[in-house]
Amino acid sequence: MTTVHNNIVSGPEERPIPAHLSFGQYLFDQLKKGGDRVALVSAETGEPKSYNFFLQNSVNLALTLQELGLKKGDVVSLSSENRFEFIVTSLAVIYCGGVLSTLNITYSPGEIIHILNITKPKFVFTSPITAQNVYDSCKDLSYVKHIITFGDFDVIPGLMYNDLMKKEHNNVEDFSLVDVNGVEDTVAVMCSSGTTGLPKGVMLTHVNFLTLCAHYKYYFDSVQEKKKVPIVTGLALIPWFHAYGFITTFALMAMKIRIVFLIRFEGEKFLETIQNYKINMTTIVPPLAVFLAKHPLVLKYDLSSLHEVWCGAAPLSSEIQKAVTKRTGIDFIKQGYGLTEATMACCVDLTSGEKVGSCGTPAPGMKIKV
């Protein structure tokens, strides 16, 4: 329940989080519970991967990284589009007590060097599409010990991810995560936009991420209580190197919501994916809302399964929001306001459309001075 006192608007009570305060342990436990259920599906190839796949492969990679010298507190940079290896790598680094630093794949070499000099990573993972820029940026940096490339071809000097994954399978039950102090230990450095200059690194803790996962569960429970419609399949289009895409994906995985992901936005593929996979929920940005409101392609597809749409990153006008609802039948687009420095959402609209255009009320545990 939202309250107002002395011009301070307070959100509902904070949601409980696991007592161990380890984001890695939380994800590890949820992957084990997921078992053979499908966790992620590539919309481009149709290939599915189970929770067990991510559990086993993340443990294998974590042990390999430790053999290569990764220790608690070491930074690992990751420059990649949405792909299965992104998830495996993120999990492995977090299990090891490492600090994950994600890099926007559109960064110029100058911007990459800027972030690398801030975070000083020991390892850098890259996909083929960003490999050359990453290599050119890293080759003279003494603190970078290993560059690891996804894919089948050694487009740059360094280690190959697939080679690291060829080692014998390790028993997941024998694996122990590195102990962390969830309140103080940084789990990730996510880059803020750089709108007013070069990108800025934001240090986020295990408790930051655990708290946001708890908020997501609260939001989704609130939705299902009102609509009586389950959320079974989500669509991930927002890049995972953004805090918005990253934490949303892991929060949905933890709730056992199947995620279909896209590498990039292409109108027909986006609409086709919603129709074919019967997507229930997705996150968008305002330009995508404009596409839904105005593009003629939209009327050729069945979007009736989609009943939960969240919009963030910039304001969405009430006119566009109403136009999307009228044209597609999506009953309501939830807006939120947040920033990387606050671990994403500070406000979320849970009113189901009572005030179109609003960014909502404070998140659980959040206080905002008016």
Question: Which sign, positive or negative, has the C-alpha torsion 220, 29, 344, 182?
Answer: positive
CATH code assigned at 143: 3.40.50.980
330 and 229, same structural domain? yes
230 phi, psi to nearest 5 deg: -75, 150
CA distance linking residue 74 with residue 124, whole number of Å? 11
Closest by Cα among 79, 95, 92 to 241:
79
CA distance linking residue 191 with residue 188, whole number of Å? 10
**Is residue 185 domain-resident?**
no
214 and 92, same structural domain? no
**Is residue 23 domain-resident?**
no
274 and 212, same structural domain? yes
Find the domain containing 220 and state its range.
Answer: 3-16+207-369
Q: Which pLDDT belongs to residue 194?
A: 63
253 and 344, same structural domain? yes
The structure tokens 């959402």 sit at: 345
213 and 175, same structural domain? no
**Of 180, 199, 215, the domain-final residue:** 180
285 and 164, same structural domain? no
260 and 172, same structural domain? no
61 and 171, same structural domain? yes
Determine contact, residues 27/91, Cβ cutoff 8 Å.
yes
CA distance linking residue 344 with residue 362, whole number of Å? 12
261 and 139, same structural domain? no
214 and 154, same structural domain? no
246 and 157, same structural domain? no
CA distance linking residue 144 with residue 214, whole number of Å? 35
Q: Which pLDDT belongs to residue 153?
A: 87
Q: Per residue of the chain (370 residues), give pLDDT as tens.
A: 778 888 898 888 888 899 999 999 999 999 999 999 999 999 999 999 999 999 999 999 999 999 999 999 999 999 999 999 999 999 999 999 999 999 999 999 999 999 999 999 999 999 999 999 999 999 899 999 999 999 988 899 999 999 999 877 789 999 999 999 999 999 999 988 766 778 889 999 999 999 999 999 988 888 777 777 788 999 999 999 999 899 999 999 999 999 999 999 999 999 999 999 999 999 999 999 999 999 999 999 999 999 888 888 788 888 888 888 888 888 778 888 888 888 878 888 877 666 777 778 888 888 888 8
Measured N-to-C along each axis, helices 109-119 and 128-138 cross at an angle, to the nearest 10 degrees, of: 60
DSSP 62-128: HHHHHHTT--TT-EEEEE--S-HHHHHHHHHHHHTT-EEEEE-TT--HHHHHHHHHHH--SEEEE-H
**Is residue 103 domain-resident?**
yes
**Is residue 255 domain-resident?**
yes
Determine contact, residues 148/160, Cβ cutoff 8 Å.
yes
CA distance linking residue 357 with residue 270, whole number of Å? 24
**Is residue 198 domain-resident?**
no
**Is residue 100 domain-resident?**
yes
117 and 235, same structural domain? no
Residue 191 pairs in a beta bridge with 201
**Is residue 202 domain-resident?**
no
Domain total of the chain: 2
The structure tokens 């000097």 sit at: 157
The CA angle 302-303-309, to the nearest 5 degrees, is 175
